């Protein structure tokens, strides 16, 4: 193996920052390169094109999210009797994504949006490969919530009339929508977990 480089890593890292704080289309390859201190030609050594870099950015954010969600449900104390406390796990996941956003807010000085939601809104109609890639991330996110919702349903802690199959999508959508409103209205990130907690609580039985 001759000659190694972390140029690819630098590109992904600074692209993640630029796509998040601005947008995909508003950042050109030139700026992507200069931010990563990589020459234009090298960019195309590592990536066939700009959209492939975006894919790598998505994968990086996704890996971080799954790790964070695993951590959130791992540290939550089991319910009395040793069974999984689905309600507590749902609230813990809400806190986890809330903390990710608070972290972005601290780093960038404002709510910058969800890395997936931003790209999805911008590219779903213009880049079918990235759209499907993002759809897979959302599907996995919903799947992780669906596991908990199923348990909650089995335990009978869901409120009457609640569709346990729709609830995961509702929760991801609530997060996406709240963060879009916060970003647009330049409000702070704290209302995001608050809204999630309220939606979760409203779908559970009183006292659950």
* Binding positions for a copy of itself, rule: CB under 8 A: 21-23, 25-26, 112-113, 117-118, 120-126, 131, 134-135, 138-139, 159-163, 166-167, 169-170, 172-178, 180-181, 183-186, 191, 194-195, 198-199, 201-203, 206
Binding partner of residue 161 among a copy of itself, DNA, none, CB cut-off 5 to 8 Å per kind: a copy of itself
Instruction: State which of positions 31-50 bind DNA (CB under 7 A).
Output: 31, 38-46, 48-50
Q: How many residues at the interface with DNA, by CB under 7 A?
A: 25
Rounded Cα distance, 64 and 25, in Å: 24
For 59, other C-beta atoms within 10 Å of its C-beta total 13
Taking CB under 7 A as the criterion, the residue among 27, 120, 179, 199 binding DNA is 27
Nearest 5°: the CA angle 101, 105, 109 is 165
Q: What backbone phi and psi angles, to 5 degrees, belong to 39?
A: -80, 150
* Element spanning 191, H or E: helix 191-203
Q: Contact between 22 and DNA (CB under 7 A)?
A: no
- Torsion angle of alpha carbons 141, 147, 153, 155, nearest 10°? -140
Q: Contact between 28 and DNA (CB under 7 A)?
A: yes
Binding site for DNA (CB under 7 A): 1-5, 7, 25, 27-31, 38-46, 48-51
């Amino acid at each position: 193996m001759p000659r190694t480089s972390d140029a690819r890593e630098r590109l992904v890292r600074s692209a993640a920052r630029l796509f998040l704080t601005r947008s995909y289309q508003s950042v050109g390859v030139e700026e992507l390169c200069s931010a990563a201190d990589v020459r234009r030609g090298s960019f195309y050594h590592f990536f066939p094109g700009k959209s492939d870099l975006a894919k790598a950015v998505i994968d990086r954010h996704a890996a971080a999210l799954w790790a964070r969600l695993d951590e959130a449900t791992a540290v939550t104390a089991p319910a009395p009797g040793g069974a999984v406390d689905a309600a507590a796990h749902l609230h813990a996941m809400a806190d986890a994504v809330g903390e990710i956003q608070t972290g972005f807010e601290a780093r960038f000085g404002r709510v910058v949006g969800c890395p997936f939601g931003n790209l999805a809104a911008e590219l779903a109609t213009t880049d079918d490969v990235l759209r499907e890639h993002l759809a897979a991330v959302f599907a996995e996110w919903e799947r992780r919530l669906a596991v908990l919702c199923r348990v909650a349903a089995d335990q009978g802690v869901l409120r009457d009339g609640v569709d346990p199959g729709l609830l995961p999508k509702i929760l991801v959508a609530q997060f996406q929508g709240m963060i879009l409103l916060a970003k647009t209205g330049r409000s702070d990130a704290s209302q995001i977990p608050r809204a999630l907690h309220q939606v979760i609580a409203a779908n559970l039985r009183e006292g659950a």
